[in-house]
Amino acid sequence: MTEPSQQIASDVPPGARDQLLDTASAIMREGDIVDISLSELSLRSGLNSALVKYYFGNKAGLLRALLDRDMQGIVHAVDALMAKDMDPSERLRRHIGAVVDTYYKTPYLNRLLMRLVRESNPDEAHRIADTYLTPLSRAYDKLIEDGVRQGVFRSVDPQLFYFTTTGACDRFFSSRLVLQHCYDTEALTEELRDRYREHCIDTIMAGILAH
C-alpha cells in the first residue's frame, strides 16, 4: 500500500511549499493578524491542507517556517549592509529605511517573532534568538560603535537604540485599527509608507547625530 506521504508527494504541484508560505503571509498581512485558518489557507492557495502536515508537520511548523523565511532575508540584508564601506550615518539611514520597508511588507513579523519565542519550547526559543536576534544585536553594537568612534554619533546604548528603531518602524504598520478609528483610514499605501520612512529616518537620525 502506498504511504499517505508518498501519495501526497506524487500529487504536489511545483512550488507548493513556497505557495503555502506566500499565502499564509498574505492572510496575516491583509488581516493584520499573527494566525491563520488552515481552511482559509487551503481555499486561498488552492492546495490541500494536508500539505501543511507534509511540509511543516503542523500549523506551528508552518509559522516557524514563515518566520525563518522572512527573518533570514533580514539578517542577510543587514550583514550585506554592514559589510559595505560607507559613512556610518548613511549606513544607518539606509538601515532605517529598510526596516520600514520590511514592516510594510510583513507587518506581522515582529508580533510573530514574539509569539513563537513565547510559545516555543526553550530549545526552539533559543534557536530563534541565536539565529536572528543575536546577529541583529551585534550589528547594532558595531553600527553605533563605528559612528561614535568616527565622531558622527553621540554615545547611546546600542540595545536601547535597537528597541527604539524597531519599535518605531514596526508600530505604525501593526496599528491598522488606530488608523481606521482615529484617522479614518486603514489603507497602508506606498505613499503612506514613503512618508513614514522619511519621518522615521529624520526623527531617529536627529536623536543620534553628534551635532
- Please state the pTM of the whole predicted model: 0.86
Quick one: pLDDT band at residue 9, thresholds 50, 70, 90?
Answer: low
The C-alpha cell at 64 is 516557524
Q: What is the pLDDT of residues 14-51, one digit of tens each?
A: 899 999 999 999 999 988 889 999 999 999 999 998 99
Cα–Cα dist 120/124, whole Å: 6
pLDDT the model gives residue 39: 94
- Local structure of residue 47 (DSSP, 8 states): S
How big is the chain by its Cα radius of gyration, in Å? 20
pLDDT (mean) for 139-161: 95
- Stretch (H or E) spanning 111: helix 109-119
- Does the structure show a pLDDT above 80 at 130? yes
Q: Which of 19, 169, 33 is nearest to 92 (CA)?
A: 169
- Does the structure show a pLDDT above 70 at 126? yes
Share of the chain above pLDDT 70, in %: 89
Quick one: pLDDT band at residue 177, thresholds 50, 70, 90?
Answer: low
Contact 179, 186 (CB under 8 A): yes
- Local structure of residue 153 (DSSP, 8 states): B
Phi, psi values for residue 184, rounded to 5°: 55, 35
pLDDT the model gives residue 174: 75
pLDDT (mean) for 175-180: 67
Quick one: pLDDT band at residue 7, thresholds 50, 70, 90?
Answer: low
pLDDT (mean) for 139-151: 96
DSSP letter for each residue of 54-95: HHHSSHHHHHHHHHHHHHHHHHHHHHHHHHS---HHHHHHHH
Mean pLDDT for all residues in the chain? 89
Quick one: pLDDT band at residue 124, thresholds 50, 70, 90?
Answer: very high
Compute the half-sphere exposure of residue 67: CA atoms within 13 Å on the CB side of its CA: 27
Contact 109, 206 (CB under 8 A): no
- Does the structure show a pLDDT above 60 at 88? yes
pLDDT (mean) for 69-87: 94
80 or 175: which carries more pLDDT confidence?
Answer: 80
Q: Which of 98, 138, 200 is nearest to 208 (CA)?
A: 200
- Stretch (H or E) spanning 118: helix 109-119
pLDDT the model gives residue 2: 39
Cα–Cα dist 30/25, whole Å: 9
pLDDT (mean) for 193-198: 93
Share of the chain above pLDDT 90, in %: 77
Phi, psi values for residue 209, rounded to 5°: -65, 140
Q: Which of 93, 88, 102, 90 is nearest to 142 (CA)?
A: 88
